[in-house]
Structure formats: C-alpha cells, structure tokens
Structure 1
Amino acid sequence: MLSVFGRWYRRKFSDPDAAMLLILIILTTAVLLIWGGLIMPVLVAAVIAYLLDWPVTRMVHIGLGRTVSCVLVLLGFLAVSIMLLVGLVPVISRQSINLIQETPLIWQNAQDWILTLPEKYPDYVQVYHIHQMMEGLNDKLVEVGEQLISASVNSLVDIAALLVYLVLVPLMVFFMLKDKHFFLNSISSVLPRERRLITQVGHEMNSQIANYIRGKVIEIVIVAACSCIAFVFMDLRYAILLGVLVGLSVLIPYIGAAVVTIPVAVVAMFQWGISPEFWYLMIAYSIIQALDGNLLVPLLFSEAVSLHPLYIIVAVLFFGGLWGFWGVFFAIPLATLVKALITAWSSGPEPQQPFV
C-alpha cells in the first residue's frame, strides 16, 4: 500500500513546479484559516475590485487615464450603493420588523390548520402525533428566538467593524484598481522560479473569479428586481423583503431556491389561504426561478462554470461551513480552483510563462 502511495506521490509531485504549487496552497489555506477574520476587509476589497476592474479597463481603452477611470467608477459604485441603502434598507427593515411581529400569528394559524388534519384524514393523521410534533416545533422556535435575540445584542459590537469597512474598504479598492499592475508584479517577484503550474492555475482562476463575481452580481440584481416587481404587482405582503431574499438566494445554487420558497409560500398562504391568488403567485415565482436557471445562468456563466451540480452542492456545504457567507459566495470559484489544480497536476510540462 505504501509503495502504491509512494509511486503516486513521485508521479505527481516529483516535478518542482507541482511541489511549489502544493506548498503555495498549504500556506494560503493556513493563512486564511488562522487570520481569515483579520484580513476579511482586504478580501472584501479584492472582491469589489474584481467587480469594478472590467469598467475601469473599458474606460482606459477609450482613452481615459487609469487614475481618472478608477475615481469615476468608484464614485459611481459608491453612489449606487448609497442609493440602494437609502432606498431599500429602511423598507426591508420595516417589513422585517412587521414580519417578526406577525410570526406568532402566522404560527398560530398554521397550528389551527394542522389540527384540522386528523378530522380530514383520520386514517393517516393521528391527534397524538400532531400534538407531539407541535411541541417539538414550539421548543425549537423558542430556541431559535433566543438565538436571534442574542445575535441582535452581539451585533451592536459590530458597529465599529462596520465603520472600518465603510472607510478602509473603499480606500483599498481604489488602490487595488489604480495600482493593479504594481501589485501583480509584486506578487510575481515573490513567487518561486518553479511556477509553471502556479502561473497556469493563476491565469485560469483570474478569469474564472472575475467572470463569476460580475455574473453573480448581475444575476442577484435581475432576480431580485423581477421578484420585487412580481410580488408588488400581485400585492403580496412584505414584497420588497421577499424579493430581496429571492435575489440573494441565487448565492447558494439549488439549495437557496428551495429554502427561500418556504417564506414566500408561508406569507402567501397566510395572506390568501389556498386560493387562486396563492397559486398565481407560486406560478409567477416558479417562472422566475425557471428563467433564472434555464436562461440567465447559462448566459452569465456559460464560460465560468462547468461543474456537475453534485460538486457545486458539496462545495457550498464545505466552504460555507468554513467561511460562512463568503465561503458560500466563493463556493463555485473555489470548486473550480480545485478542478484547475487537478487538471494542472495531471497535465504535462509546458513552456515557462510570465505570471502577468
């Protein structure tokens, strides 16, 4: 057994380029695991810089200076962000508070409906089972409520961190955009000479991550806007809140759409009951999800994502468990990185290329 492992190791890692790639991966993973929380503002700034690099590059191509292009793009991004915050955050906050206040009433109505099931289906549903299930659910709801209260109290401590994000992140984004080539050259200067595979994976992932971030942001905006318009048109309560949740649900492929269906269906059922309006809303919601999965995603990610759905789900669960929101957001690029690494280790030697 050891001889088999030894032959595999020599075949894959006897090449110095492969060994250097492995060392770089181990060091990067250790830094993220140990100091990931401390350098999170830098990672957030890098994400935004990836998002804004495309318009900056286009403006440079039409003749504007890079510094002027960076200032204009960053100011436009900040203006749009502020308008969204001013326009959406108060509405979402108000609707969230109202929904939380009405949650006990929604739960009471749900219990009343569940208690009617033994009368309607006596051969399949027993009263004892209903009471037992509701006791367990009530205990779970109390536990979740206590966790939410604790989280809301702890979140007050994060106000200072938020101020740091609001001041430092835009500054870091500006410098990352303005001095992009300087930073790339600096990274290239500290990399080892045996970097054929590092260069190969770096070029592939640079394009993959940039395309993925831009595509994902566009997808969130389109899905959220379409959902809000549909919910407002059909006069669904908490339309903006639920529309934004539907848009954010695309961060988690497959799983997000299934999870966010629950609050949409619960609110619609509480408002209209099992009525034609309820089914019209669910049909409209299903159409939005179908168009997203069958039209929008192939258009935005045809070149960026070529992974089996099972690999995507496993990546979401694994990286989301490690790094929370940002792990979920980058689950697909990280899974693509793993695929690129496997491809690089399986490929033969190629001519040396510069990193940039």
Structure 2
Amino acid sequence: TDWFKRTFSDPQIVFLTLVLVIGFAVILTMGDMLAPVLASAVIAYLLEGLVVVLEDRGIPRWLATTIVFLAFVLFLGLVLFGLMPLLSRQVTELVQQLPNMISVGQNALMALPERFPDVISPTQAEEILNGIRREIGSYGQQVLSVSVSSVVGVLTILVYLVLMPMLVFFFLKDKDIIMGWFGGFMPGERGLADMVWREVDRQIANYVRGKFWEIIIVWA
C-alpha cells in the first residue's frame, strides 16, 4: 500500500523496527537463559543515573562507579542479611503456632453444634473437620515436594547473587566500551532511534523518581 511504501521507505524507521523486532525476539526466545544478564543490565541502567550525578559533581567515573556499586552491594546485603532473617523468623514462629491454631479452630468448630443446634449438626461439623484435615494433609505433601524441588532454585539464587553484582559492576565500569561495541553494528544515520531512546530514557527516569518518592512517603 501507499502507507507501507511511504512509511518504510525511510531507512531510519526500518532500522528502528528491526531493533525492536530483534530485541523482542531475543527476549522471548532466550529470556530464561539471559535472565541474569538482562536483570543486571536493568540494574546497571538504573544505577547509571547515580553515577552521572556524581560525575556532574566532578568525581571521576571510576570512583563514581565504585561508590555507587558499593552502595548497591551494601543495600543488597542489608536486604539479604537484615530483612531475610526477620522474614524467616516470622515464618518459623507461624509454623510453630500452627498446631495450636488448628487445635483452637477444631475446638471452636466442634462447639458449634452445641451453641447452634438448629444450624449445624455434629455430623456436619465432623465432615467439615475431616475435609479440613484432608486439605491440610495434601497441602503438607505439596510443601514437601516444593521444598525438595526448591533446592535447585536456592542454588540458582546463590549463583545469581554472585554473578549479577559482577555483571552490574562491569556494565557500569565498561559502559562506554559496551556502547561503542554495539554502536559498531548500527548505521550512521540513526537519529530516529536515538530520539526514541532519549524519550524512553526520560520517561523511565521520571517513573523511577516518582516511585522513589512514593516509597519514601509510604514508609514515612
């Protein structure tokens, strides 16, 4: 059609379309395999804003990168060794209190026929209780199977915890080298793609800043 010829006769539009198609294809086909790389790239992109702020204040990039990366590792360590033990302790207390909670619920359920004989009979209460016991038993089997299969997941998380910070650091440190390498595969005339990227970058920056202040306000 005329619209198709008019639109795709511009090489910059063709280039932008190819970049989007290839990017989505890579994510859809190799997203699981490249998950740590993609996640590290996103984190490095978010941290790059802090590096730029420090650079604008006269701090060399290598030092700004080191400061931001150490702050990121400190935050990650705070989450892992500060919040995770607290969450684990809460879960442990819940598991310990679970038998008592079940016993209280059982006694309350068996007392219903005495208090409301016209609403529920002892037989109905017993049937409900047996159903709850069956559900708890099946749930316990599911938890056991998940706990066994989650060993691989735990090992994967440990690998990510080592691999991703290293990737984040090198993405920040070698940003210019990486961008130059990617730029070597791109045509010289890519003004439209650059304009779209700048707009996306601006919108993402506004979104991140908005979420940051939202978190600060909610926590306050």
Q: What is the TM-score normalised by the length of structure 1? A: 0.49
- How do residues 323-338 of structure 1 correspond to structure 2 at under 5 angstroms? none
Q: 1:199 aligns with which of 189, 194, 214?
A: 194
Structure 1 position 61 matched with structure 2 position 69: no
149 and 54 in structure 1: CA distance in 2 versus 1, 3 angstrom threshold:
same
Structure 1 position 45 matched with structure 2 position 40: yes
Q: 2:156 aligns with which of 155, 161, 164?
A: 161
Deviation at 1:96, TM superposition (A): 1.4
Structure number with greater Rg is: 2
* Alpha-carbon separation, structure 2, partners of 1:38 and 1:217: 30
Give the letter for the 1:28 counterpart.
G
- How do residues 86-105 of structure 1 correspond to structure 2 at under 5 angstroms? 86-103=81-98
Query: 1:60·1:69 contact (CA, 8 Å) conserved in 2?
Result: yes
Query: 1:45·1:172 contact (CA, 8 Å) conserved in 2?
Result: yes
* Alpha-carbon separation, structure 1, partners of 2:142 and 2:3: 48
Structure 1 position 25 matched with structure 2 position 20: yes
Give the letter for the 1:86 counterpart.
F
SS at 1:190's partner residue? coil
Q: What do residues 104-154 of structure 1 show as CA deviations (whole Å, max 9, x unaligned)? A: 6556767857x96xx5xx7xx9xxx99999988877666555444333222
Deviation at 1:171, TM superposition (A): 1.8
The structure with higher relative contact order (CA 8 Å, sep 6+) is 2
Structure 1 position 183 matched with structure 2 position 178: yes
After superposition, the CA RMSD in angstroms is 4.1
Partner of 1:250 in structure 2?
Answer: none
Query: 1:56·1:73 contact (CA, 8 Å) conserved in 2?
Result: yes
Provide the identity percentage.
37
* Alpha-carbon separation, structure 1, partners of 2:4 and 2:129: 55
SS at 2:184's partner residue? helix
* Alpha-carbon separation, structure 2, partners of 1:20 and 1:137: 60
Gap runs ≥5 in structure 1? 1-5, 227-356
Q: Which stretch has the larger CA shift, 185-194 or 148-157?
A: 185-194
* Alpha-carbon separation, structure 2, partners of 1:48 and 1:200: 22
Partner of 1:77 in structure 2?
Answer: 72
Deviation at 1:173, TM superposition (A): 1.2
> How many positions carry a matched residue from both structures?
218
Gap runs ≥5 in structure 2? none
Q: What is the TM-score normalised by the length of structure 2? A: 0.73
Deviation at 1:38, TM superposition (A): 1.4
Partner of 1:307 in structure 2?
Answer: none
69 and 215 in structure 1: CA distance in 2 versus 1, 3 angstrom threshold:
same
